[in-house]
Structure 1
Amino acid sequence: MLISFEGIDGSGKTTQARYLAEALRAEGRDVLLTREPGGSPGAEEIRRLLVEGAGERWSPETECLLFTAARRDHLERSIRPALAEGRVVITDRFADSTRVYQGAARGDLRPMVDRLHTLMIGVEPDRTFVIDVEPATGLARGAARGGTEDRFESLGLQFQERLAEGFRALAAEYPDRVILIDGSGSPDQVAARVRAAL
């Protein structure tokens, strides 16, 4: 299976991806835990260009091309080989992030995002879990985390609100694949909701 975790910045999706990977490994499954942008050497180089620096460093169109290039390398070098070996792949973000960030919140680019995805990626996760939290909560968590990977958080609360709306809309658009998970409560409580949904 290919399982993706999505959500706004600070939603807890990275923690939940790790929790699920650990739980499945404890059950004897072979799991690759990976992330986007990144997950392969070339994609990790592109990651630095995307998540560091000023919020308006790139246009939404350029971001979309960079994310697609990183995702293609990730798919070729990490995801497809792991799936071919029979492993479970859990990725912290995948194509739905581009659909929401560049396709809806940063610009009205969804048709371009979808065409690039069809041309260059052509793969959807078997299951996508959107960890749904209030935007102000996510933004506060991101600020508390610190670090240099804060380019999207720097775009502010209204941007995070547009992201949250976009992820909720995706759950309505793809009800057989995308599952909204209530992100409130402790990490263990959220993880229990993920397992129940899986």
Structure 2
Amino acid sequence: MSGVFISFEGVDGVGKTTQVERLKRYIEELGREVVITREPGGTKLGVALRQLLLHGGDIAPRTEALLFAADRAQHVAEVIRPALTRGAVVISDRYIDSSLAYQAGGRELTQEEVRKLSLWATNDLLPERTYLLDMDPALSHNRLEHSEDRMESAGDGFQERTRREFLDLAKHEPSRFKVIDASKSIDEVWNQIRGDAESLLADWSCGL
């Protein structure tokens, strides 16, 4: 594959959508194709699964993990791998690390179980760069402009465990993750992303 795969992670309300759009415009100005997608819901099947996962009734933790993995398997097969193969830059709002943080951290399944399931579903596909927008969940949730979904309404303890899991993931994979303080202004957050993305894309171009 000759494209570049980038993901954005973080608890809800940290501003991922805003920064994804800024990065998209920046890369398009460089003359490169950009594919924006998200999890769950990046495919037709994913839209149906997203409705179940975010707005359905009670779902057992293992069932939830399997549904996220099914969404991801289809997402990679239908959207991400084809785009990378033709040389596009793929930017996904959430990916494997969300399952590791929310299911292994928030839902308290084991890290090994969720990782094995996610890597099997994607045939071991990981992003070249993951931007983790980090912020106290108690503050980030004040930014939400919609009614809370199943994940957002799971409680303060769930959200804090999820944040800690994200930070632990970043600690163990420092070459892939870039942790950014999302409590800063939109422009300050963007400047950090842009500086890193410029270097990342320059390295990718040299490798073509």
TM-score, normalised to structure 1's length?
A: 0.93
Query: How big is the shift at 1:112?
Result: 1.1
CA drift of 1:93 comes to 0.2
> Would you say how many aligned residue pairs link Structure 1 and Structure 2?
193
Other structure's SS at 2:12 match: coil
| 2:21 counterpart of 1:42 | no
Answer whether contact 1:32 1:82 (CA < 8 A) is retained: yes
SS of residue in 1 equivalent to 2:40: coil
In structure 2, C-alpha distance between the alignment counterparts of 1:79 and 1:118, rounded to whole Å: 14
Find out whether 1:7 has 2:16 as its counterpart: no
SS at match of 1:154: coil
Q: Which residue of 2 aligns with 1:67?
A: 68
Deviation string 1:64-91 (CA, Å, 9 cap, x unpaired) is 1000000011101100111111100000
- Give a deviation string over 1:2-46, Cα, whole Å, max 9, x none: 000000011111221111111111221110011000111111111
- Matched residues in 2 for 1:59 and 1:17: separation? 31
Shift of 1:197: 2.4
Moved over 4 A (4+): none
Unaligned runs of 5+ in 2: 198-208
Residues 153-172 of structure 1: matches in 2 within 5 Å? 153-172=152-171
C-alpha distance in 2 between matches for 1:139 and 1:155: 12
Q: What SS does structure 2 have at the residue aligned with 1:79?
A: helix
Match of 1:25 in 2: 28
What residue number does 2:186 align with? Answer: 187
Letter paired with 1:160: Q
1:135 equivalent among 137, 156, 181: 137
CA distance in 2, matches of 1:187, 1:29: 24
- Name the aligned partner's letter for residue 70 of structure 1: D
DSSP 3-state at the match of 1:123: coil
Point out the more displaced range, 163-172 or 114-123: 114-123
Tell me if structure 2 keeps the 8 A contact 1:139–1:160: no
Quick check: 1:151 aligned with 2:153?
no
The question of whether the paired residues in 2 share the 8 Å contact of 1:38 and 1:47 is answered with yes
* Separation in 1, partners of 2:150, 2:22: 26
Q: What is the one-letter code of the residue matched to 1:101?
A: Y
Contact 1:2 1:88 in 2 (8 A): yes
1: distance between equivalents of 2:86 and 2:6? 16
Mean Cα deviation higher: 18-27 or 68-77: 18-27
How far did residue 130 of structure 1 move?
A: 0.3
Distance 1:189 1:86, change over 3 A: same
Correspondence for 1:80:
81
Q: Following the alignment from structure 1 to structure 2, what is the Cα–Cα distance between the partners of residues 105 and 151? A: 12
Report Cα offsets for 1:74-117 as digits up to 9, x if no partner: 10110011111110000000000001100122123211111112
2:36 alignment partner, SS class: strand
- Between 1:4-13 and 1:112-121, the stretch displaced more is 112-121
Matched residue type, 1:146:
H
**Structure 1 residue 118: deviation in Å?**
2.8
Percentage identity across paired residues of the two chains: 42
SS at match of 2:116: helix
